[in-house]
Every structure is written in C-alpha cells, then in structure tokens.
Structure 1
Amino acid sequence: MRTSTSEARLRALIDNEAARAGFDAVGVVRPDAIPQAPERLRQFVADGFHGSMDWITETLERRAQPSVLWPEVRSIVVLGMNYGPDHDPRGILAHKGIGAISVYARNRDYHDVIKGRLKDIAGKIVARAGGDVKVFVDTAPVMEKPLAQAAGLGWQGKHTNLVSRNLGSWLFLATIFTTAELEPDEADVDRCGSCRACLDACPTNAFPAPYRIDARRCISYLTIENKGPIPQEFRAAIGNRIYGCDDCLAACPWNKFAKTASEAKLIARDDLREPALADLLTLDDAAFRALFSGSPIKRIGRDRFLRNVLIAAGNSADAGLLCACRDLLSDPSSLVRGAAIWAVARLDADLATSLCVPAIVEETDPDVLAEWRSISSLSKVHA
C-alpha cells in the first residue's frame, strides 16, 4: 500500500512527538490486526486463569476487539516506554529483612506519568489530521501486548509479556486510538526459540505451558489483584516480595540489550528501592497513604499491603520482627490479623500455639479462625 504525503507527515509527527515525550518505541496497527486474540482470551477465562479478576470477563468482548471498544477507530498507535533497571532486581531477594517491590512500582505511578504525555501527542494528531482520538494506559479493556506485537514493538514471550530486541522485557505500553488513516507497521516475530529461562524462574510455577499463565499462581496477582488471604501453598515461595514479582522478566536473556531507564523520565522513588520490613509493619492507614502518595502501590490499600509485608516477615526468620507482627494480631482488619497469625507462627511457633485457644474463643471472622485452627491442628500433631 502506498503511503500518501499527508500520512507520512502525520507519522513523522507522531514519531517525533513520541520521542520528545520519552517513549522508546512506537508502531502503528490496524484495529483488526489481532484476530487470534479473542479466542486466546476466552480460553484464558474458560480455564479460570484470570482468578478473581472479574473485570476481564465483564469486558471480554470489548477487550478482545478494539473496534468493539470504539467502532470509529481506524488506526492504533502503540507506544512503549522503557523502565529497565540499572541492576538485577532479584538481588534483593537474598536480603530477607527488606521488602522487594517490583521495579515498575518504585517510580511514580506510570498511569499518571504516561497519560498526560499521551494526551499531548493525541492533541497534536488531531491538530494535524482532524478527527477524534482516545488514549489508553493499561486501565481500559485494551489488549496492549498482542497489539504491540502486531505493531512491530516486540513479541509476546513465553512469560506472556512483551519482549523487545532493543529493550528486553522492561516496557510500559500505551495506545492512542485515532480516526486517522495511517500505514500499519509490520508485525514482529517470536524470537524466544528453545529458551525457557522465564518459565524456570517462576517461584510458584505459574506457567502451565509456554505462552500461558495461570494468574492464580502468579506472585504479582497474589500480592496485588488478590483481595483475600494468600493461599498457604504460595506463602513460603513469595519470600520477601511485598508488591509484584520481577523474576520472569529479569530472567529474559534479551535484557542484555536493554537500556537503563532515565530516572528523570520515570520520576524514581529511591525510598521504595529497599524498604525495611520493620518500618512497613508499623504503617497505619494515614501513614500508608502518605508513604505511597503518587505510587501505584496506593491502590491496593493498607490492609492488602500489610498482608504482603506480614508474609515477608514470616519468611524472614528475623525474631526482631516478632513484636510488630504480634501487635498486628489485634488489627481491625481481618486480612491483616490472618496474615499476622502466620507470621507469628513462623517466627515463634510456641508463642503462636500459646495464643491459639483464647484467640479462637474471641475471633469471629471465618478466615482468621481458619488461620488459628491451622496452628492448633499443627500443635496437636506435634504434641
């Protein structure tokens, strides 16, 4: 297809403005370029791999086909922003008294950082070409990863995330839907080959097969999307990961080509790089909100976050955290109380056993009672 002069100029403007806004990759795709995506998404849901993320099922049709989300769309601009770290984030896992926060969340909320820049680019598209635009950053029912592959930004690796030859696995994705006609780019091809480094790196075996993920087993899901207690079978494997998990991303060999992201571009939070569990265990709601103002972590709320920190404390083998964990046994949140029981039992099994009987008499929440009763059952087995 021959590109008109006006289309070429519009594309040049988009490329220039994207680079000016800090994006590292840009491509264009037609809205009908991912015909295989609907069936893959339906299978993901049919297998129950979405867990409690009901918003996926509720937006299934719009998510599967961009033209259902917005019938007027003619072209989709897909943009990628590198957030590659200057170190291997898995190194912190050996320091059990420190909370491991996923690399992307150690910066200001990327939704806020990126959306304003997208709107600026979108406004220039309208000024040049007229028509209408819509911008999306992760929160809308848009399948960014298959669209990004179709637009030539990279390919969906065996860990289901996008991999770029130039930027590795560290990419934020965003889209601009436009009524303007633009020449699409060529799709990228899969370059994973026989490598399975990302699959083998997963602490909880969340990949039932290459290119398939069971979110219910994924630490990112368990610590962020999951609203209830973390299942017993995954707690030890979580280690000191208190928000998300970077293991499969960090293991990707293509990261050798990744560039370290500019801290100025992402607005880095140095105070979230190596937070001490001892400090995090004392957070009340006001302190939590103050600490995580402007951070994506704020959206899960203090109770879910403290649940995660308590699991990490229980895995730390640090008796110095015992008092703080014990104090949280009487927390107003049942989610926090339940996690505190597990943490105390891991740090001092005898203490947990001694607290069990009176606690069972007073507790009313079924999940917390189940935690106490599991301690009681264990004590009887070992008696």
Structure 2
Amino acid sequence: MSARDRIRARALAEGFDAVGFTSTDRIGPELAEKLDAFMALKRHGEMAWLEEKAERRRHPNALWPEAKSIVALGLNYGPDNNPLDVLAQRDRAAISVYAQGRDYHLVVKKKLKSLAGWMHREWGDAVKVFVDTAPLMEKPLSAAAGIGWQGKHTNLVSRDFGSWLFLGIILTTLEIEADEAEADHCGSCSNCLDVCPTRAFPAPYQLDARRCISYLTIEYGGIIPHEFRKPMGNRIYGCDDCLAVCPWNKFASAAREATLRARPELTAPLLLELARLDDEAFRERFSTNPVKRIGRDRFVRNVCIALGNSGDVAAIPVLEALSADPAAPVRAHAVWALKQLMPADAFMRFAAPREKAESDPAVRAEFSRP
C-alpha cells in the first residue's frame, strides 16, 4: 500500500469519517487574495486575531515553511433530528448542533495526535496538528484535499455528510500523493442564502460576519445592534440555519462519535433556567463544552434577547433582576427584553428610577430608545 492509502486506512480506524490529501505547492494565491478581500471590507468585525495573524494564514508554508503535504480530516457531527425545530419553541434555547456535546477541539485533537504520532513512527517525518485554533484556513485546504467544497454559505459541504463535518489538519514533511480537489456541487441552489435571518451573505460564497448570528452570539462581546435582536429569535449560541437547509444533508447521518452527540440538558433547555445561571453554575454546566469559552456574561446577554423574543411574561421578574446585573451588557439587553414584554406604562414606572441610577451610557440608552 502507498503512504496515502495506509494513512487513509489508519485515519478511518481512528474514527475519522473523511480523509483527503493535497500538497502545499498546490495551494495557490487565491487563498490569500480571498482573505485579503474579506478583511479589506472589514467583514471580520471584531475578530482581531484574523488581522494579527493574517500573514501566517495566507499559505500553509507561511505557518511552517518545511511542510510538504496536507492531510485533511473530517469528523461527522450530524444531528439525529432537525436542528431548526427548536426555533418554534420560544421558551427554549437554540444552541448550535456543534456545541451540544463535548468540545470538538478536545475530540478531534486527540484523534489527530494519535494519527500524527503513528505517521511519525512509520516514516520518521515531522508532523504538526491543527484544530481551528492556529492561523490555518481549514476549509479551503480541506476543499483542495478533496473531502468537500466550500458552499455558498462558505462552509464545507460533503457529498457524504452534508454540512456536518468538523475539520482537522495535519501538516507533514512527508511527501504524499495528492487527491483531486472536490468540484462545487451547489448548482443553482440558494437555500442557505435565502434562509439567513440577518442577511449575512452579501453574495454567494461571501459572508459578512458582522451580520452573522454565530458571530454576534459567540465572537462579539458588546451591545448587539437592535436590527439583529428580533431576527435572533431564541438562538443563544450560534446558528444552524444555513447548514440545516442544505440539500446535501439528505445523505448525512447522525454522528457515530458518542462524545459529539447532544447532551440532553443542552437540547432545547429552558431559557428561564439559563437566565438564572451565575458564573459558577455556568462553568459547571458547560464544562468540556464549547459554550464555556464565551463566559457567563456574554451568554446571559444572549439569553436576555431570546427572552425578549419569547413573549413569556413569566420572564419579567428574572429580567428585572438581570437589569441590575454587575455586567453592563447583561443589564442593557435585560432592559431591552423588558420593553418587549411589559406594557408601556408598566415599563415607564419600572424604568424611571433605574435610568437615573444607571452609570453606563449604553444601558441608559436602552431605557429611552423607542
């Protein structure tokens, strides 16, 4: 067997679902050009780390000059139900499918290290592993290695697993025969573009992260613009809409990796229960889970918006308490939510003393905003 065939067989034995290969000299300048255009338009928002390490993202050899081959790995995390069903349950929270189980960084990295260690022992060449935390553009590299293509929603799509693949990369000094890049099979379909609640796609294959609910709920730490709050609905961590409507999901299957399957307490949890979490309870509930990294304050900020969209007047006492929260973003969004749920005269009586006592200008603005 060739090195490529042996590595592919070993990767599948490790539990990966998709494996592809390409060489670093096949990665052309278009990768850097797309990155530059994205940042020139400021579509990365507050993700400063993209700019800070842009030079190292432009090509795999900018990150590691000695690398010759790229091994792209995919791990299926397909849900066992329709992730859009929860959007109709207004008293429940919609958490992105990828964040309902164990943190994928931990799962994928363990498998990558095992595979890379075996490769090093077999051939003696140097290896480095990457899971979404280093300045490496996993999606276009995985497309070049043939395990899928970047769809119109900019995420990787697989003919076998639809939109549900976690990606990992191994760079190595070993020369491995390359696979053919996967062709684009989106055709005339525009499901992913049409479904976006905040119109985050200026054009096919282009994303303005500043309008994306995943960016707003996870990466953005400030006061969420008013134009996005209603469209967010009950999405409190990420958004699966553009992924879930992809027709290629008809070939997808539920994740076979047990640790990636949804934990019951993270499948449509009650918003009121989440709103009451203090920092300690938040950390305990989301230990070994991706949600933990955004912190309690940003998380509860998102929950406040969902409660404001819920129409549930039972949330009013909880939101009144959160309007005095130590974190200004939580207070600001709690005030907004109360304005959605309370009659105008009741809100005015509630707001008058608090507006005078409020020190943060962003929070004060929420009291007086129409």
Same fold flag (TM > 0.5): yes
The Cα offsets for residues 311-359 of structure 1, whole Å up to 9 and x where unpaired, read as 0000000011111111101101111101100111111043322232322
How far apart, CA to CA, are the structure 2 residues paired with 1:110 and 1:101?
A: 15
**Is 1:295 the equivalent of 2:289?**
yes
Matched ranges for 1:133-282 at <5 A: 133-262=127-256, 264-266=258-260, 268-282=262-276
When structure 1 is superposed on structure 2, of 358-367 and 296-305 the one drifting more is: 358-367
The structural deviation recorded for 1:263 is 5.2
Does 2:24 correspond to 1:31? yes
Off by >4 Å, runs of 4+ in structure 1: none
Cα separation, 2, equivalents of 1:287 and 1:179: 45
Aligned to 2:358: 363
Q: SS of the residue aligned with 2:84?
A: helix
How far apart in 2 are the matches of 1:34 and 1:359?
57
1:44 counterpart = 2:44: no
Q: Give the secondary-structure state (helix, strand or coil) at the position aligned to 1:330.
A: coil
Aligned partner of 1:381 in structure 2 is none
1:373 corresponds to which residue?
A: 368
Residue 22 (str. 1) matches residue 15 (str. 2)? yes
Find the aligned partners of 2:15 and 2:101 in 1 and give their Cα distance: 15
Q: Using the TM superposition, give the Cα deviation of residue 116 of structure 1 relative to its aligned residue in structure 2, in angstroms.
A: 1.0
RMSD: 1.1
Query: Cα distance, 1:195 vs. partner?
Result: 0.5
Q: Normalising by structure 2, what TM-score?
A: 0.97
Matched-pair contact (CA < 8 Å) for 1:344–1:351: no
CA distance in 2, matches of 1:60, 1:265: 33
CA distance in 2, matches of 1:98, 1:90: 12
Residue 176 of structure 1 deviates from its aligned partner by 0.5
Residue type at the aligned position of 1:309:
V
Q: Equivalents in 1 of 2:267, 2:281: separation in Å?
A: 18
Q: Distance in 2 between matches of 1:87 and 1:74?
A: 40
Distance 1:259 1:123 in 2: 29
The one-letter amino acid paired with 2:19 is: V
Which string of whole-angstrom CA distances, capped at 9 and with x for unpartnered residues, describes residues 112-137 of structure 1?
11111110000000001112111000
Once residues 211 and 267 of structure 1 are traced to their aligned partners in structure 2, the CA distance between those partners, rounded to angstroms, is 29
Runs of at least 5 residues in structure 1 that lack an aligned partner in the other structure: 379-383
Question: 2:23 and 2:365 mapped to 1: Cα distance?
Answer: 52
CA distance in 2, matches of 1:277, 1:263: 28
Alignment partners' CA distance in 1, 2:45 and 2:121? 43
Give TM-score scaled by structure 1 length: 0.94
1:241 and 1:262 map into 2 onto residues whose CA distance is: 26
State how far apart, in whole Å, the 1-side matches of 2:153 and 2:27 are: 19
Alpha-carbon separation, structure 2, partners of 1:116 and 1:268: 19
Measured in 1, the distance between the counterparts of 2:304 and 2:222 equals 14
Structure 2 match to 1:352: 347
| Cα offset, 1:267, TM superposition | 5.1
Change (3 A) 1:17 1:265: farther
Superposed CA offset, 1:140-168 (max 9, x none): 11111111111000110000001111110
The share of aligned pairs that are identical, in percent, is: 57
State the shift of 1:360 in Å: 2.2
Q: Give runs of aligned pairs for residues 58-73 of structure 1, distance below 5 A.
A: 58-73=52-67
**2:74, 2:165 within 8 Å by CA — same for their partners in 1?**
yes
Q: In the alignment, what sits opposite 2:114?
A: 120
Asked if structure 2 preserves the Cα contact closer than 8 Å seen for 1:98 and 1:275, the reply is yes
Aligned length: 368
Aligned twin of 1:13: 6
Contact 1:224 1:300 in 2 (8 A): yes
